[in-house]
Structure 1
Amino acid sequence: MTPSPHLRPGLLALVATLVVDQAFKVFMLQVVGITSGQTITILPVLDLVMAWNYGVSFGMFQQDSLLGQWALVLFKVAAVALIGWWLWRAESPMTAVALGLIAGGAVGNGLDRVLYGAVADFFAFHITTASWQFQWYVFNLADVGIVAGVALLLYESLFGGRPGASKSARS
Protein backbone atom coordinates (compact mmCIF):
# COMPACT_ATOMS: atom_id res chain seq x y z
CA MET A 1 0.00 0.00 0.00
CA THR A 2 1.34 3.42 -0.95
CA PRO A 3 1.61 6.11 1.68
CA SER A 4 -0.85 8.96 1.93
CA PRO A 5 0.03 12.09 -0.02
CA HIS A 6 -0.44 13.86 3.34
CA LEU A 7 2.24 11.84 5.13
CA ARG A 8 4.88 14.61 4.99
CA PRO A 9 2.94 17.25 7.02
CA GLY A 10 2.11 14.58 9.59
CA LEU A 11 5.73 13.54 9.95
CA LEU A 12 6.80 17.19 10.22
CA ALA A 13 4.24 17.71 13.02
CA LEU A 14 5.54 14.57 14.76
CA VAL A 15 9.19 15.65 14.59
CA ALA A 16 8.42 19.27 15.56
CA THR A 17 6.37 18.18 18.59
CA LEU A 18 9.05 15.72 19.71
CA VAL A 19 11.95 18.16 19.26
CA VAL A 20 10.24 21.12 20.98
CA ASP A 21 9.07 18.92 23.87
CA GLN A 22 12.44 17.26 24.46
CA ALA A 23 14.40 20.51 24.01
CA PHE A 24 12.24 22.24 26.63
CA LYS A 25 12.65 19.32 29.06
CA VAL A 26 16.44 19.31 28.62
CA PHE A 27 16.50 23.09 29.08
CA MET A 28 14.45 22.92 32.30
CA LEU A 29 16.32 19.95 33.77
CA GLN A 30 19.89 20.69 32.66
CA VAL A 31 20.12 24.46 32.14
CA VAL A 32 17.59 25.83 34.63
CA GLY A 33 18.24 22.90 36.96
CA ILE A 34 14.67 22.82 38.26
CA THR A 35 14.20 20.24 41.00
CA SER A 36 11.21 18.14 42.01
CA GLY A 37 8.57 20.32 43.64
CA GLN A 38 10.36 23.58 42.79
CA THR A 39 8.10 26.38 41.52
CA ILE A 40 9.06 29.23 39.20
CA THR A 41 6.31 31.84 38.79
CA ILE A 42 6.00 33.03 35.18
CA LEU A 43 2.63 34.84 35.30
CA PRO A 44 0.01 35.29 38.02
CA VAL A 45 -1.82 32.30 36.46
CA LEU A 46 1.16 30.21 35.28
CA ASP A 47 3.97 28.52 37.19
CA LEU A 48 6.68 26.16 36.08
CA VAL A 49 6.63 23.29 38.58
CA MET A 50 8.81 20.19 38.34
CA ALA A 51 6.51 17.20 38.70
CA TRP A 52 7.35 13.61 37.78
CA ASN A 53 4.34 11.72 36.42
CA TYR A 54 4.58 7.96 36.97
CA GLY A 55 1.18 7.34 35.41
CA VAL A 56 -0.55 8.20 32.16
CA SER A 57 -2.54 11.31 31.28
CA PHE A 58 -3.60 13.38 34.28
CA GLY A 59 -1.57 11.10 36.55
CA MET A 60 -3.96 8.13 36.23
CA PHE A 61 -2.65 4.55 36.64
CA GLN A 62 0.45 5.50 38.63
CA GLN A 63 3.23 2.93 38.17
CA ASP A 64 6.15 3.10 40.58
CA SER A 65 7.63 -0.30 39.70
CA LEU A 66 10.05 -0.91 36.86
CA LEU A 67 7.68 -3.51 35.39
CA GLY A 68 4.79 -1.03 35.50
CA GLN A 69 6.86 1.68 33.83
CA TRP A 70 7.92 -0.67 31.02
CA ALA A 71 4.31 -1.79 30.58
CA LEU A 72 3.42 1.87 29.98
CA VAL A 73 6.31 2.18 27.50
CA LEU A 74 5.05 -0.88 25.61
CA PHE A 75 1.53 0.56 25.61
CA LYS A 76 2.94 3.80 24.11
CA VAL A 77 4.83 1.84 21.45
CA ALA A 78 1.63 0.02 20.46
CA ALA A 79 -0.34 3.29 20.43
CA VAL A 80 2.28 5.04 18.28
CA ALA A 81 2.35 2.08 15.87
CA LEU A 82 -1.43 2.29 15.49
CA ILE A 83 -1.29 6.06 15.01
CA GLY A 84 1.55 5.60 12.49
CA TRP A 85 -0.58 3.14 10.52
CA TRP A 86 -3.45 5.67 10.54
CA LEU A 87 -1.05 8.46 9.51
CA TRP A 88 0.23 6.32 6.62
CA ARG A 89 -3.39 6.20 5.38
CA ALA A 90 -4.47 9.77 6.33
CA GLU A 91 -7.12 11.12 3.99
CA SER A 92 -6.54 14.82 4.65
CA PRO A 93 -3.72 17.15 5.65
CA MET A 94 -5.58 18.03 8.87
CA THR A 95 -5.84 14.38 9.87
CA ALA A 96 -2.14 13.88 9.11
CA VAL A 97 -1.06 16.90 11.17
CA ALA A 98 -3.35 15.89 14.05
CA LEU A 99 -1.94 12.37 14.09
CA GLY A 100 1.61 13.73 13.89
CA LEU A 101 0.98 15.94 16.92
CA ILE A 102 -0.46 13.02 18.89
CA ALA A 103 2.35 10.65 17.90
CA GLY A 104 5.04 13.25 18.60
CA GLY A 105 3.62 13.84 22.06
CA ALA A 106 3.33 10.13 22.77
CA VAL A 107 6.93 9.53 21.65
CA GLY A 108 8.14 12.49 23.76
CA ASN A 109 6.45 11.19 26.89
CA GLY A 110 7.54 7.62 26.13
CA LEU A 111 11.12 8.79 25.73
CA ASP A 112 10.88 10.41 29.18
CA ARG A 113 9.88 7.05 30.66
CA VAL A 114 12.90 5.38 29.10
CA LEU A 115 15.34 8.17 30.07
CA TYR A 116 14.00 9.15 33.50
CA GLY A 117 11.57 6.43 34.58
CA ALA A 118 8.71 8.97 34.58
CA VAL A 119 7.32 11.81 32.48
CA ALA A 120 8.64 15.30 33.25
CA ASP A 121 5.77 17.80 33.61
CA PHE A 122 6.25 21.53 34.14
CA PHE A 123 3.29 23.78 33.34
CA ALA A 124 0.80 24.57 36.10
CA PHE A 125 -2.12 26.89 35.34
CA HIS A 126 -4.04 28.21 38.33
CA ILE A 127 -6.48 30.92 39.27
CA THR A 128 -6.82 32.13 42.83
CA THR A 129 -9.28 34.70 44.11
CA ALA A 130 -10.35 35.61 47.62
CA SER A 131 -13.15 33.06 47.53
CA TRP A 132 -12.21 30.56 44.82
CA GLN A 133 -9.22 28.54 43.62
CA PHE A 134 -8.67 26.51 40.44
CA GLN A 135 -5.59 24.39 39.73
CA TRP A 136 -5.18 22.51 36.44
CA TYR A 137 -3.10 19.35 36.12
CA VAL A 138 0.63 19.87 35.64
CA PHE A 139 1.50 19.09 32.01
CA ASN A 140 4.23 19.36 29.39
CA LEU A 141 4.58 20.33 25.72
CA ALA A 142 4.08 16.72 24.59
CA ASP A 143 0.69 16.83 26.32
CA VAL A 144 -0.09 20.08 24.47
CA GLY A 145 0.67 18.30 21.18
CA ILE A 146 -1.57 15.38 22.10
CA VAL A 147 -4.48 17.60 23.13
CA ALA A 148 -4.09 19.82 20.05
CA GLY A 149 -4.04 16.73 17.81
CA VAL A 150 -7.17 15.30 19.42
CA ALA A 151 -8.88 18.71 19.11
CA LEU A 152 -8.02 18.82 15.39
CA LEU A 153 -9.42 15.31 14.87
CA LEU A 154 -12.62 16.27 16.69
CA TYR A 155 -12.92 19.50 14.73
CA GLU A 156 -12.43 17.69 11.45
CA SER A 157 -14.89 14.95 12.32
CA LEU A 158 -17.55 17.48 13.37
CA PHE A 159 -17.03 20.29 10.85
CA GLY A 160 -14.36 19.37 8.32
CA GLY A 161 -15.91 16.55 6.36
CA ARG A 162 -13.82 14.28 4.15
CA PRO A 163 -12.27 15.01 0.78
CA GLY A 164 -14.86 14.62 -1.92
CA ALA A 165 -17.79 14.47 0.51
CA SER A 166 -20.78 16.54 -0.39
CA LYS A 167 -22.41 18.95 2.07
CA SER A 168 -25.46 16.70 2.31
CA ALA A 169 -23.25 13.72 3.26
CA ARG A 170 -21.84 15.74 6.18
CA SER A 171 -25.27 16.68 7.56
Structure 2
Amino acid sequence: MTLLRETGQIMARPDVVWSVLARYGSVDAFSPHVAQSFIIEGTPDAGLGAARQCNLADGKNHVKERVTAWTDGSSYSVEIYEGTMPIRDAYSTVSVEETAPGRTRATIEIGYEPKFGPLGNLMDLILIKPRLSKVAGDNLEGLRAFVMGQGDAGKGSS
Protein backbone atom coordinates (compact mmCIF):
# COMPACT_ATOMS: atom_id res chain seq x y z
CA MET A 1 0.00 0.00 0.00
CA THR A 2 1.23 3.46 -0.89
CA LEU A 3 0.94 6.03 1.90
CA LEU A 4 1.20 9.80 1.52
CA ARG A 5 1.10 12.54 4.14
CA GLU A 6 1.06 16.28 3.49
CA THR A 7 0.75 19.03 6.09
CA GLY A 8 0.23 22.76 5.96
CA GLN A 9 0.05 25.63 8.43
CA ILE A 10 -2.92 27.98 8.47
CA MET A 11 -3.00 31.19 10.46
CA ALA A 12 -6.48 30.59 11.88
CA ARG A 13 -8.05 28.75 14.80
CA PRO A 14 -8.81 25.05 14.22
CA ASP A 15 -12.57 25.63 14.61
CA VAL A 16 -12.46 28.10 11.71
CA VAL A 17 -10.54 25.66 9.49
CA TRP A 18 -12.84 22.83 10.55
CA SER A 19 -15.92 24.86 9.67
CA VAL A 20 -14.74 24.82 6.04
CA LEU A 21 -13.86 21.11 6.06
CA ALA A 22 -17.16 20.22 7.73
CA ARG A 23 -19.04 21.47 4.67
CA TYR A 24 -18.30 18.02 3.30
CA GLY A 25 -20.06 18.41 -0.03
CA SER A 26 -18.26 21.67 -0.84
CA VAL A 27 -14.65 20.62 -1.30
CA ASP A 28 -14.82 22.34 -4.69
CA ALA A 29 -14.84 25.68 -2.82
CA PHE A 30 -11.11 25.33 -2.06
CA SER A 31 -9.69 22.42 -4.08
CA PRO A 32 -8.15 23.50 -7.38
CA HIS A 33 -8.44 19.89 -8.61
CA VAL A 34 -12.20 19.56 -8.09
CA ALA A 35 -14.47 21.27 -10.60
CA GLN A 36 -17.68 20.26 -8.83
CA SER A 37 -18.54 18.38 -5.65
CA PHE A 38 -21.88 17.45 -4.18
CA ILE A 39 -23.50 15.24 -1.55
CA ILE A 40 -24.84 12.00 -2.97
CA GLU A 41 -28.61 11.83 -2.60
CA GLY A 42 -29.85 9.79 0.34
CA THR A 43 -26.75 10.33 2.49
CA PRO A 44 -26.19 12.83 5.33
CA ASP A 45 -24.68 16.24 4.52
CA ALA A 46 -21.78 15.53 6.89
CA GLY A 47 -20.64 13.03 9.48
CA LEU A 48 -20.49 9.25 9.42
CA GLY A 49 -22.04 7.83 6.25
CA ALA A 50 -22.01 11.09 4.27
CA ALA A 51 -21.00 10.51 0.67
CA ARG A 52 -19.93 12.94 -2.02
CA GLN A 53 -18.97 12.89 -5.64
CA CYS A 54 -16.04 14.98 -6.81
CA ASN A 55 -15.85 15.70 -10.53
CA LEU A 56 -12.24 16.49 -11.19
CA ALA A 57 -10.98 19.59 -12.94
CA ASP A 58 -9.56 17.57 -15.86
CA GLY A 59 -13.17 17.08 -17.01
CA LYS A 60 -12.69 13.32 -17.39
CA ASN A 61 -12.35 11.78 -13.94
CA HIS A 62 -14.40 11.55 -10.78
CA VAL A 63 -14.33 9.89 -7.36
CA LYS A 64 -17.06 8.98 -4.93
CA GLU A 65 -16.07 9.13 -1.27
CA ARG A 66 -17.90 7.93 1.86
CA VAL A 67 -17.11 9.06 5.41
CA THR A 68 -16.00 6.11 7.55
CA ALA A 69 -14.94 8.07 10.65
CA TRP A 70 -15.81 11.58 11.86
CA THR A 71 -14.50 13.32 14.96
CA ASP A 72 -16.29 16.65 15.00
CA GLY A 73 -13.87 19.54 15.15
CA SER A 74 -10.73 17.56 14.38
CA SER A 75 -10.80 14.90 11.64
CA TYR A 76 -12.65 12.72 9.21
CA SER A 77 -11.70 9.68 7.14
CA VAL A 78 -13.19 8.58 3.85
CA GLU A 79 -13.03 5.57 1.61
CA ILE A 80 -12.94 6.13 -2.12
CA TYR A 81 -15.49 3.54 -3.15
CA GLU A 82 -15.86 4.38 -6.82
CA GLY A 83 -14.00 6.36 -9.41
CA THR A 84 -11.98 6.55 -12.56
CA MET A 85 -8.54 6.87 -10.97
CA PRO A 86 -6.04 3.98 -11.38
CA ILE A 87 -6.18 3.15 -7.65
CA ARG A 88 -8.14 0.79 -5.41
CA ASP A 89 -8.61 0.22 -1.68
CA ALA A 90 -8.14 3.95 -1.25
CA TYR A 91 -8.78 6.07 1.81
CA SER A 92 -7.97 9.54 3.03
CA THR A 93 -7.92 11.23 6.42
CA VAL A 94 -8.10 14.99 6.86
CA SER A 95 -7.29 16.45 10.28
CA VAL A 96 -6.70 19.76 12.00
CA GLU A 97 -4.88 20.56 15.23
CA GLU A 98 -3.88 23.73 16.99
CA THR A 99 -0.11 24.34 17.01
CA ALA A 100 -0.26 27.78 18.69
CA PRO A 101 -3.02 30.27 19.45
CA GLY A 102 -4.59 31.19 16.13
CA ARG A 103 -2.50 28.67 14.19
CA THR A 104 -3.59 25.30 12.81
CA ARG A 105 -1.78 22.37 11.25
CA ALA A 106 -3.94 20.73 8.59
CA THR A 107 -2.95 17.25 7.45
CA ILE A 108 -4.08 15.06 4.57
CA GLU A 109 -3.12 11.38 4.63
CA ILE A 110 -3.84 9.13 1.66
CA GLY A 111 -3.47 5.37 1.35
CA TYR A 112 -4.14 3.27 -1.75
CA GLU A 113 -3.15 0.33 -3.89
CA PRO A 114 -2.44 0.98 -7.54
CA LYS A 115 -4.51 -0.97 -10.07
CA PHE A 116 -2.97 -3.02 -12.90
CA GLY A 117 -0.48 -5.20 -10.98
CA PRO A 118 3.24 -4.70 -11.75
CA LEU A 119 2.45 -2.09 -14.41
CA GLY A 120 0.40 -0.21 -11.80
CA ASN A 121 3.32 -0.34 -9.36
CA LEU A 122 5.55 1.27 -11.98
CA MET A 123 2.85 3.84 -12.78
CA ASP A 124 2.62 4.57 -9.06
CA LEU A 125 6.31 5.40 -8.78
CA ILE A 126 6.49 7.71 -11.77
CA LEU A 127 2.98 9.13 -12.05
CA ILE A 128 0.34 8.33 -9.42
CA LYS A 129 2.22 8.99 -6.17
CA PRO A 130 3.80 12.28 -7.32
CA ARG A 131 0.43 13.43 -8.71
CA LEU A 132 -1.56 12.58 -5.56
CA SER A 133 1.11 14.19 -3.37
CA LYS A 134 0.76 17.38 -5.45
CA VAL A 135 -3.04 17.21 -5.24
CA ALA A 136 -2.88 16.90 -1.43
CA GLY A 137 -0.45 19.82 -1.17
CA ASP A 138 -2.51 21.95 -3.54
CA ASN A 139 -5.66 21.16 -1.56
CA LEU A 140 -3.97 22.29 1.66
CA GLU A 141 -2.84 25.50 -0.03
CA GLY A 142 -6.35 26.03 -1.40
CA LEU A 143 -7.79 25.46 2.07
CA ARG A 144 -5.35 27.95 3.57
CA ALA A 145 -6.18 30.58 0.94
CA PHE A 146 -9.92 30.01 1.32
CA VAL A 147 -9.80 30.27 5.13
CA MET A 148 -7.59 33.37 5.01
CA GLY A 149 -10.07 35.02 2.66
CA GLN A 150 -12.85 34.78 5.29
CA GLY A 151 -12.55 38.09 7.11
CA ASP A 152 -10.24 37.80 10.12
CA ALA A 153 -9.90 34.03 9.52
CA GLY A 154 -10.53 33.40 13.21
CA LYS A 155 -7.10 34.63 14.32
CA GLY A 156 -6.41 34.85 18.01
CA SER A 157 -7.89 32.93 20.89
CA SER A 158 -11.58 32.25 21.45
TM-score (norm 1): 0.28
More strand by share: 2
TM-score (norm 2): 0.29
Larger Rg over CA atoms: 1
More helix by share: 1
